Amino acid sequence: MGALVVPTFAFGQELRLGLPIDCTLGETCYIQQYVDHDPSKDASDYRCSTLSYEAHKGTDFALNSLAQMQEGVAVLAAADGRVAAFRDGIEDVLYTPDNAFNVAGKECGNGVVINHSGGWQTQYCHLKKGSVSVVKGQNVKAGDMLGQVGISGKTQFPHVHLSVRKGNLVIDPFSPKGRLSCDPKPQDTLWDDLPIYEPGGLISVGFSDSVPEFDDVKAGILDPDNITTASPALVLYVQAFGTRTGDIIRFHIDGPNGVIHEDQAEMTRNQAMVMRASGRKSKRRTWNTGTYRGTVELLRRGTVIETMLTEIELK
């Protein structure tokens, strides 16, 4: 059964929230999943869209790559309060069915729980091992650092999962009264500044000399400097989130002498995260020297919803 949300007007004092992560939404991070509002086995975010999954009880603020996580991105207290509990020491390992037993009962991974006035509570999950910087009973202010984003617990991408509760009830901070709204700017939220809503988008793009492994794309470890004029192929890859059936990912590569490749891929099902790549093999022994520019567009019902650009210089 889907997550429960209940009206804030039954609670008296209303909680106000700031972002729980030190990043720029739409640039260095994005929201991967929202609270599930659908009581059936299907899922729906507060916008009546697909950025959720069955019984998801929080909001997932995700980084663009594992490389960002390794550099260190702070998890922040979303509101003033007192630390009620914390856990640290769980390894940062991508969750798979093979290692599920390691986090059984500890799916949140390393995390922090904060009690707020009026009976409210926030929880922050999947923090990096060894990064938790608060202790039980400590008073914190909104914006104070609690730790760093990690991949501990039951997760396959670096993010902080923020849960908001009133008593034992899950509250969606985007729609605390539990109403579905297709309005891009809902009036009743718990946010001081409403985070932007992206109905899906592009996370990263780049060039490679072959079709890359998805894990390498997610890790952000592919080095375009490895591409030379002698490379056998020039491949443009993209990582996207929240794609829907019928979406189109369109690829375009320009070289020093004009267009060298165009292609597109149609999505055949809804996917939380996906990687696609397209390119061409060299028709000569070497590529021409000069600048190569890649453009990737995500189209939904014929409308471009996001475009990303990248370029490399072959000498």
Amino acid identity for residue 146 in this structure = L
Give pLDDT tens digits for 79-118. Answer: 999 999 999 999 999 888 888 888 899 999 999 999 999 9
Q: Domains in the chain and their CATH numbers?
A: 8-170 (2.70.70.10), 201-314 (2.60.40.10)
When pLDDT is averaged across residues 245-250 and rounded to a whole number, the result is 98
What is the pLDDT, as a whole number, of residue 210? Answer: 95
Of 97, 86, 36, 34, residue with least CA distance to 62: 34
Q: Given pLDDT bands bounded at 50, 70 and 90, which one contains residue 2?
A: very low
Q: What percent of the chain has pLDDT over 90?
A: 77
Q: Given pLDDT bands bounded at 50, 70 and 90, which one contains residue 184?
A: low
The residue that leads in pLDDT, 61 or 223, is 61
Contact 64, 28 (CB under 8 A): yes
pLDDT above 60: residue 11: no
- Beta strands at 303-314 and 201-208: parallel, antiparallel or unpaired: unpaired
When pLDDT is averaged across residues 238-254 and rounded to a whole number, the result is 97
Torsion angle in degrees (nearest 10) through CA of 15, 20, 22, 28: -120
Contact 137, 83 (CB under 8 A): yes
Output the CA torsion sign for 3, 136, 78, 129. Answer: negative
pLDDT above 80: residue 294: yes
When pLDDT is averaged across residues 248-265 and rounded to a whole number, the result is 97
Give pLDDT tens digits for 56-76. Answer: 999 999 999 999 999 999 999
When pLDDT is averaged across residues 266-273 and rounded to a whole number, the result is 94
